[in-house]
Amino acid sequence: MPLVSTRALVLQSFPYSETSKILRLYTWEHGLLSVMAKGALRPRSRYGGVLEPFTEGQAAFYLKPGRDLHTLSGFDLVRSRQALGRSLVGFAGASLLAEMVLRVGAEEAQPALYAALAGAWDAIAGAADGAEALAASLAGAWTLIGLMGFAPQLDECVVCGAEVQPADPVRFDAVAGGVACTRCRPAGRVLEPESRSELRVLLAGEVPAGGVGRPGTHRALLRAFLDAQVAHDKPFRALDLFLENASAARPAPPAAPGVDIA
């Protein structure tokens, strides 16, 4: 039962008995793990209240091969990200990203996934307003989707394979996994070029300055794609909270094209 030390992100934290906590961590070297923090709920705990979601630190724990629960020995705080608590949009977005990693993370190292999640949390925490927090959350979600192997196809029709140009009218087929040309999908609402271009930017992990142009369209795209490709009949609990708060982050734009979510 070796004592190991690794960088770790706290995805989830909940009480265990009257004095301890169980943490779900995503670690740099060991992927997704569960650890017990004994005594973490005591008034004078050596952890000092830092074992909360979105916290990052250097975690030391006793790794028990073949076991699902390990024992935390120490946690040196690196970043608390308390700023995420100041914005409902940011908090909900960060929670959705944590749930996504909880859903698909494995007990093996995937540094790119770790870096993407930590970077997205930092971008959300540093957002200037609700619109930017929404865009940072969307960028984080689409980046994670890409790293999980589910990135939507945006440059070729998912039905016939024909190349589609940036200005071509297309429809978004979440079930098929990307855009479809209007010949293959003659019915439904068109995904306008601006939103498709922004989606490509979000997939690259970049946050559009000032937020996305049509927030409602991007909320619909994310919901449709997560439901069709990732959720597998087990809805994300944080998704509704995120979408609800995101819709209130700024006034709704004028009438805009929607998206076909077939």
Distance of alpha carbon 183 from alpha carbon 109, whole angstroms: 43
Structure token pair of residue 118: 């930590």
Structure token pair of residue 230: 């990732």
Structure token pair of residue 171: 């429809």
Q: What is the pLDDT of residue 248?
A: 73
Q: What is the pLDDT of residue 148?
A: 93
Distance of alpha carbon 142 from alpha carbon 125, whole angstroms: 17
Distance of alpha carbon 152 from alpha carbon 113, whole angstroms: 18
Confidence tier at 261 by pLDDT (50, 70, 90): low
Which sign, positive or negative, has the C-alpha torsion 196, 233, 244, 139? negative
Q: What is the pLDDT of residue 175?
A: 94
Distance of alpha carbon 112 from alpha carbon 114, whole angstroms: 5
Q: What is the pLDDT of residue 48?
A: 84
Q: Tell me: the pLDDT tens digits for 67-81?
A: 899 999 999 999 999
